[in-house]
Amino acid sequence: MRVLIAGIAGAIAMFLWAAVAHLSPLATIGVHTLPNEGFIVGVLQTNLYNRGGVYIFPSPKGDQIATHAKITSEGLLAYSRGSGAMQPRRLGVEFLLELVESLLLAVMSAMTVASFGTRVRLAALVGLITGIAPNFSYWNWYGFGLDYTLVTAFIEAMKFVVAGLVIAAILRRKPAA
């Protein structure tokens, strides 16, 4: 029961940290706006319709390859049609994801016979792995900016540190009777 409570409390801490981080100037580092946004969005809507997804260019079968054009750019585009407003459903899904992450962290933490500090260090290591794993691959393969990559990895890693502090506090060893 303590593990479940620790996981839920850790998820709440994760969610709050992520909210603060994403609403702060920290979340804008390395993020750029599109020049001529109206034109570019119009082209995307005309050509992609409602087919949201991840698009990569140049593609092996794309126009640039087929026409033997000199390839001068490459990129990755995440596209979806939407209202542009924050949707409550997305906040709910994000909390559920963090709940699963935190419950798994609580289970892992409970499996160790360790001190508060060791449990927090374990959470920090898990956070470091989750921060590095996708973000630095995207930096390497898709050209994500290093500033954006470092900030995003930091925000993700800190979610686990914050949750780890809460989980370790709840799972402290019970004093011997």
Give the Cα-Cα-Cα angle 127, 131, 134 (nearest 5 degrees).
Answer: 135
100-104 LR contacts (CB < 8 Å, sep 24+): 101/11, 101/14, 101/130, 101/159, 101/160, 101/163, 102/7, 102/8, 102/10, 102/11, 102/13, 102/14, 102/163, 102/167, 103/3, 103/4, 103/7, 103/8, 103/10, 103/11, 104/7
Residue 118, token pair as written in the block? 């060791």
pLDDT digit string (tens) for the chain, length 177 residues: 999 999 999 999 999 999 999 999 999 999 999 999 999 999 998 999 888 899 888 877 777 767 777 767 788 888 888 777 778 888 999 999 999 999 999 999 999 888 999 999 999 999 999 999 999 999 998 889 999 999 999 999 999 999 999 999 999 866 555
Residue 131: the pLDDT is 95
Cα first-last separation, the chain: 20
3-state SS, residue 46: helix
